[in-house]
Each structure stands twice: as structure tokens, then as C-alpha cells.
Structure 1
């Protein structure tokens, strides 16, 4: 059977590679917070929801991190998963049957896998492999994975909805880079794209995950009942769009380039995700909850932290559209706007969520 080809249908916008001052590796402390916040819930999910007896007598346990980027957060997450799994086997009296662990690190083909592999912990207790490809298509063989993990990745769409870049469409998103403060037509286009993408995601995972296997997803989202324009992640992106329009007014960026550019991001509510899961029908929802807010031990100001976080995640996509020469000015301006509007950037409402799914038997 031929492998499914997703390279022609999915856009690739990996995080900033390398280990420089603007790299994801050096500026992913907020994502680290999600990993830390999920640890106790991860332990609970594996302890209560994973039936390891059905995997016996397999001597290898396969784990996949979808959207792993370059580290170091993925290694911390894997260590948390292994600790929980080993405790599970030991608590069942299966000390002699603890399997070898094989971890597959997945991200776009253009991800900095060299940086990832160079950073692999030397004392790791698992075998490791990189698996390139969009997770909106198949990336593993049938029934080959026992535990799937993905943190702060599924908010990225496979592509920008075509309608929002079509000047003849009522959903043309002129003058904006995001849907959240736009018209109903633009919002609906993104909702539709999200639903299609998540159905593709779940369809692929249903084939790759063994029966009884678990999938744990964390993602920044939108609390139920909160307007798109008020959700904290969207407010941060709106500020970035305002900075880009400031550069248009200064003549640094052309208005036409802004009109032909949108960020392929959608911040869903847990209820939206649950609806797609129910429609797919291959998974039971074992847990869904807000991630607890984590205190972050940093020396940077909040505005510096948010600006560095956004640049590490989005430098590549802005560079591709507008060129490298605007990056320092754009994200410098963004940091200043964050300082001016710190109360809107800082939200006490939970904006990160966790969902645990179990693969049903057909």
C-alpha cells in the first residue's frame, strides 16, 4: 500500500531552529509550563486509563510525540511518560516485563531535526527516531503506536483557509492576519478548516493507535462561551497584527503583502474538539480538563517573555512572507505594545486544556 502523501496539502511552519537567542529551544518556557502542568494528569491517565495487560507479551512499547519541535520540552514530556509507565508496570507486579521503550519524534520535514538529535539526553532510557511529516496525515504504520502525546501543536491548521485570501470571497480577510477580530465569514472559514483538519488528524491516529492505546493532547484554546476576539491567545495575535499594520503605515511593509497573509492558527474550545471526536467515533474521551496555571520562574518581564515566545514560534512564517529585514523591528514593536497593554495580554482565565482519548475496539 502506498503511503499517504500530505506534503502537497499541508503548509509547514516549524518553530525557529538552532540554539541561538531567538530559537525555540531558548524561548519555549511557556510551552514548558504546559508540560509541567500536565504531569500529574498524565500520571493519572496512565494509572487509571491505560490497560497494559492487553499489550502483553509485547516487549516494545511505542510512544509518539506529534509536533515535537527541537526540544528541550519534548524530552521532559517523554521522561514524564516513561516514569508513569514504569510505575504502572511495577504497581501491577510486572517488574520483569517492563518493555523496551521506543520514542518517535514527529514534526514537519523542515523541522530542525539536527538540533533535536544533538540535544537528545545521553542517559535516556529509550530508543529514539525522527518521523518527518504533517500529523494531519498518516505518519506511522497501522496499529503500531501505544501512546500518542502532543503538546501545544494542534492549534496550527494544515493551511490558511483559501477563502480568506480570495479577493472575490466574502471571507476575504483584508488588513488582518487572523480571524479572531474579523467578520463572521472569516471566522466560519476557520471553523470549517479546523473541523476538516481535526477529522483528518483523528482518522490518521485511529489507524496508527493500537486498540486500548491512549492519546493525550494539550492545547491553548478558547474557554467555552468566550468570544474569539476575547480569548487570551487571540488577543496576543491581534496585537501582532496591529504591529504589522503600523509597519504598513510607516512604509516598511506593503499593504498588499499583508492582505495576502494570514496565520494558520485556530484556538478551539474543548467543546468543539469533543464534537469532532464524537463525529469520528473511534475514540472515547477519558479526561477533559483545564490545565492548572503554572508559575514561571524567569528573569524576563512578561512583555519580553511573550514577545520572545511569539518570535520563536512565528519568525519563520513572517520571514517567508515579508523578509528577514523586518523581524527585529516587528517583534521590538510587539514587545512595546505588550508593555502598553499588559492587562489584556495577562489573563487569569485558563487558556490551556488537556484531553485524553482511548482508542476504541472496532
Structure 2
């Protein structure tokens, strides 16, 4: 029976499903570009670090993508991994030993798995399986996975820290929806939640990944030493909070609902992740590298339009749950205008996308 990591049910905030104009599938080009710029490093990691001897006892190679959402980015990532593994066998002269591949697509049960599976590539070279559940706990049997991959997912916390929505607490986050421009008490509450969640995440993966197997993570982070309030990723959520407070002042939403609304997301630094991995003790850090910056926009879309469409694809569900559907269009129109108004502030923010490759070591 799967080991229980937490007695509490993690919160679930799936991306927009379907393939409509506001869907995640149509509004995740930034994440796709991160996958593209990481491809060369990912190939190098698998060719140099993967121990293919771990496949000798099985003719099936297991890959898990955690926080897969609805595609298509998860399919690009899986294809890159599969090609790199096949190349590893061919380079070592074991072309005849290339195993069959099984891919586990994981996300919360509320994820639009129907959309995911309807859009599976027709010419795929793997067997596809859906695995519902939170990656903050166990998902797979012990020592059953060869490669775990996750891109733009582990910045989500399992839940909002309880203290930040408690009006009697010194960490009450009144008038804000995110921790980064708040008090030291609010920031510490999120740092503690992040630390606990990463402990659960790494402990669970240590149970599931075979010795010699890899975990490949692509993370939207903040550079080491950067204050939370100066993080570009955090600024996008600060602007959303300002829009909600503007609407509260106009009476369009309840200020009490804004006070009780917080987005469970934490922008980690490379050093914070390194500390968590070292504390866990079950993985070696094989690669930790900043990914090259890529152009966010092109001639067909402005920065404010891209930020608004991408944030809506990721946050519409959690906003609807708190405030109802009727405010969505107005909120994200305001958000786009806020991004235009504060474009120079956003561009001054610090950001880093980084790739981490961990290798499961023997206990």
C-alpha cells in the first residue's frame, strides 16, 4: 500500500482545460520555449548520467511527467526524453536492447485528462497512462520509475499556509493575495510551507525512482539572493492582487474575499532547492544550470497581452472558485492594463529558469 506522506488533502488548482481561446493548451507558449531551450541540456544529462543497467531487469522503461496539465508541452518533453534514452542505447551499441516505453501523465484528478488524451500524438512511441493525484505525496510503487520529469509545476505549494488567512495571526496577509510584497511573517509562513512540501516531494520521489534513475526539473525561480518582491514571477501575482483590490474599492468584489484569498505558489531560488536536496540525502545533484533567456513576445502580441493570457490560463480556476465567474473578463482586462502601466517595473524584476538533474543514489 502506498506510503502516506500527509494526512491533509492537498489543494488542487488545475489549468484551464479544453482547447478554447483561454485554455492552457493555447496559452502556454512561454513554457514551451523553456522546454525547447532546455532540450540540449536534457539530452546531455540523459546521455551522461542515466545508468541504463537499471533497465536490465525489465523490458519496459518508465517515464513519469508530474504536473502534466493538458498538453501539448508535456508531449514535447516526453518526446525529448524518449529520443535521448534511445540515443543512449544506440551510442552504447545496444540498439537491439532498446526497451518499450510507458509514460505516466500525472496531475490532480480535476485536471482535464479528457483533453490530454484526445490530443495525444498519433505516432507516439510509448504507452500512455493517466495518474491522478498530488505530487506532494506518493504516486507510484517503490523503485518503479526510471525518469521523473516536471516542468513549471513544483512552484505550486500543496496548500496556502493556514496562518496567512487567519485574521488573529501576525502572518495574516490582509489586502494581498501573495506573499512576496508582504510582511516578514507572511514570507516566513510561505518559506516554511515550501520547505515542508519539498521534503514530502523529494521523500516520495526517493521511494519511487530506481537507484541510478533520474529526476529532471525545470523551474521558474528567482536568482540566489534576490528578494521575493524583486522576482519577476512574483510581480505577475502582485499585479493581480492590485487589480482585485481596485475592484474591491469599487465594490465589484468583497474586500473580505480578497483578504481570505491567497495563491499557493512559491518562487524558489537554486540555493533553496539545493538545500532541500541535501537535507533529503537520497539524490546527487548532477546538473543545476540557468537556462538561456528567450524572447517572451514577438510581433503578434504585446508583453501585457501575453502575461494576461498566460496568467488567465493558469489562474482562472482558482479565481472563479473564490470570486465567481462573472468577474473574470473584467479582472483580466484590468490586469492587462496594469501590466502595460507598470511594464518598466516588471522588466526591472529578476528572473531565472533553471534546470536541475538529480540522480537517485543508493541509501
The secondary structure found in structure 1 opposite 2:84 is helix
Whole-Å separation in 2 of the counterparts to 1:211 and 1:87: 21
Please show how residues 217-296 of structure 1 align to structure 2 within 5 Å: 217-296=217-296
Higher mean C-alpha deviation, range 156-165 or range 287-296: 287-296
Q: Give the number of aligned pairs.
A: 362
Quote the Cα distance in structure 2 between the aligned partners of 1:276 and 1:83.
30
Match of 1:313 in 2: 314
1:89 paired residue number? 89
* Aligned twin of 1:190: 190
Offset of residue 54 of structure 1? 3.4
1:100 deviates by: 0.2
Deviations 1:296-333 (A, max 9, x none): 56421111011000000000000000000000000000
Bigger drift between 134-143 and 337-346 goes to: 337-346
Deviation for aligned residue 1:350? 4.2
The answer on 1:36 being equivalent to 2:48 is: no
Deviation readout 1:248-290 (Å, 9 max, x if unpaired):
0110011100011100000010100111111100000001011
Deviation at 1:225, TM superposition (A): 0.9
C-alpha distance in 1, partners of 2:250/2:71?
Answer: 37
- Residue in structure 1 matched with residue 126 of structure 2 by the alignment: 126
Structure-2 separation of matches of 1:358 and 1:341: 42
Instruction: Give the 5 Å matches for 1:1-362.
Output: 1=1, 4=4, 8-296=8-296, 298=298, 299-346=300-347, 349-362=350-363
Tell me which moved more, 344-353 or 139-148: 344-353
Query: What does the per-residue CA deviation read over 1:64-119, in whole Å, with 9 as the maximum and x for residues that have no partner?
Result: 00000000000000111111111111000000000001000000000000000000
1:8-64: CA deviation from partner (whole Å, max 9, x where unpaired): 420000100011110000000011111111101100100111111232242110000
Shift of residue 218, structure 1, vs aligned partner: 0.8
Structure 1 position 4, deviation (Å): 3.3
SS in 2 for 1:277: helix
Change (3 A) 1:25 1:273: same
2 CA distance for matches of 1:352 and 1:45? Answer: 17
TM-score of the aligned structures, taking structure 2 as reference length: 0.97
Q: Distance in 1 between matches of 2:7 and 2:123?
A: 34
Q: Alignment partner of 2:141: what SS?
A: coil
- Give 3-state SS (helix, strand or coil) of 1:356's partner: strand
Contact 1:6 1:134 in 2 (8 A): no
C-alpha distance in 2 between matches for 1:217 and 1:5: 21
**1:349 Cα deviation after fit:** 4.7
Verify the 8 A CA contact 2:230 2:349 in the aligned structure 1: no
CA distance 1:6–1:16, change in 2 (3 Å)? farther
- Cα contact 2:5–2:200 (8 A) shared by 1: no
Q: CA deviation at 1:340?
A: 1.4
* Per-residue deviation, 1:345: 2.5
Rounded to whole Å, the distance in 2 between the matches of 1:54 and 1:223 is 35
SS for the counterpart of 1:62 is strand
TM-score (norm 1): 0.97
Distance 1:196-1:6 versus aligned 2 partners, 3 A rule: closer
TM-superposed CA distance for 1:5, in Å, is 7.8
| CA displacement, residues 231-257 of structure 1 (integer Å, 9 cap, x when unaligned) | 100111111110110000110011100
Distance 1:64 1:249 in 2: 46
- In 1, Cα distance between equivalents of 2:7 and 2:101: 29
Matched residue SS, 2:75: helix
Question: Cα RMSD between the aligned structures?
Answer: 1.4
> Which 5+ residue runs of structure 1 have no aligned equivalent?
none
- Give how far 1:346 is off: 3.0
Deviation readout 1:134-166 (Å, 9 max, x if unpaired): 000000010000000000000000000000001
